[in-house]
Amino acid sequence: MTSAEPSIFTRIVAREIPADIVFENDSVIAFRDIAPKAPVHLLVVPKTQEYANVSELAAGDPALLAEVVATANALAAEYAGGEFRLIFNSGESAGQTVFHVHAHVLGGALEEGSLAQ
């Protein structure tokens, strides 16, 4: 489901918006969340905005979903000692604010009662 307007993540990929990028390859980009909910809070984002949420990604491109998870795992090993939470928010009422599928990688002590958005 491609949106007519580029998402904020597509604009980061295009370098129209700055981000603290920690990883990038041909398929995904990862950067620090601007409103972290844990000492380590990274976002892993497919470069395509074709999929709004993880269910669409799983149905449409399972290999890309596997790459997002593998990237999250590698980043958690590098930045969080290998222990992490991997969160995909799906839908506005679940806290999704950008409708371009992305994974939150959280490591370290989480803020009390926080959920990744």
Question: Which active-site residues does the annotation give?
Answer: 102
- Residue 74: half-sphere exposure toward Cβ, Cα within 13 Å: 13
User: 59 burial class (0-12, 13-18, 19+ CB within 10 angstroms)?
Assistant: exposed
CB 83 within 8 A of CB 76: yes
| Of 47, 49, 30, residue with least CA distance to 99 | 49
Distance CA 39, CA 109 (A): 7
Cα distances (angstroms) measured from residue 10 to each of 7, 31, 71, 102: 5, 13, 18, 11
